[in-house]
Amino acid sequence: MQQDVFDYLPVYRRLSGWFAFTDLLVFDALLDAQTASGTTGDVLEIGVMHGKSAFFLARKVEAGQELIVCDLFEMPPPGAANAAENAASYPGVTRAAFDRSAEQLAARPPRVLQLASALLGEHVDAGTVRFAHIDGGHLYPEVAADVALAERLLVAQDGWVAFDDIRTPHAPGVAAAVWPALARGPLEPVLITPTKLYAARQPDLTTRGRLQQRLLDYGLELEEQKVFDHVLLRVVEDLDTGPYRRPSTWRGARVTRGLGREELVQRLRGAAGRLTRLR
Ligand SMILES: C[S@@+](CC[C@H](N)C(=O)[O-])C[C@H]1O[C@@H](n2cnc3c(N)ncnc32)[C@H](O)[C@@H]1O
What's the pLDDT tens digit per position in 165-223? 999 988 999 999 999 999 999 999 999 999 999 999 999 999 999 999 999 998 888 99
The whole-angstrom separation of Cα 255 and Cα 171 is 20
pLDDT of the residue at 273: 44
For residue 279, the SS3 value is coil
The whole-angstrom separation of Cα 2 and Cα 4 is 5
pLDDT of the residue at 272: 47
Straight-line distance from the first to the last Cα atom of the chain, in angstroms, rounded to the nearest whole number = 15
Enumerate residues 6+ apart whose C-beta is below 8 A from 61: 42, 43, 67, 108
Residues with CB under 6 A from ligand 1: 17-19, 46-49, 52-53, 70-72, 77, 82, 86, 90, 93, 116-117, 135-137, 142
pLDDT of the residue at 92: 86
**pTM to 2 decimal places:** 0.88
The whole-angstrom separation of Cα 110 and Cα 78 is 24
How many other C-beta atoms are found inside a 10 Å radius of the C-beta of residue 6? 18
- Give distance in angstroms: CA of 89 to centre of ligand 1: 9
Max CA pair span of the chain: 56
Mutation to probe ligand 1, out of 11, 44, 48, 196 (largest number of atoms < 8 A from CB): 48
The whole-angstrom separation of Cα 232 and Cα 184 is 16
Residue whose Cα lies nearest atom 27 of ligand 1: it is 49
pLDDT lower than 50: segments of the chain: 240, 243-260, 271-279
For the CA of 50, the closest atom of ligand 1 is: 9
For the CA of 78, the closest atom of ligand 1 is: 19
Cα Rg of the chain (Å, integer):
18
The whole-angstrom separation of Cα 68 and Cα 132 is 9
21 alpha carbon, distance to own chain's centre: 11
Mutation to probe ligand 1, out of 135, 168, 170, 196 (largest number of atoms < 8 A from CB): 135
pLDDT of the residue at 250: 31
How many other C-beta atoms are found inside a 10 Å radius of the C-beta of residue 206? 15
Task: Tell me the DSSP string of 19-83.
Answer: --HHHHHHHHHHHHHHHHHT---EEEEE--TTSTTHHHHHHHPPTT--EEEE--TTSPPSSHHHH
pLDDT of the residue at 267: 58
Asked whether 183 and 228 are in contact (CB, 8 A), the reply is yes
Residue whose Cα lies nearest atom 5 of ligand 1: it is 48
pLDDT of the residue at 262: 61
CATH number of 2-278: 3.40.50.150
Mutation to probe ligand 1, out of 27, 49, 143 (largest number of atoms < 8 A from CB): 49
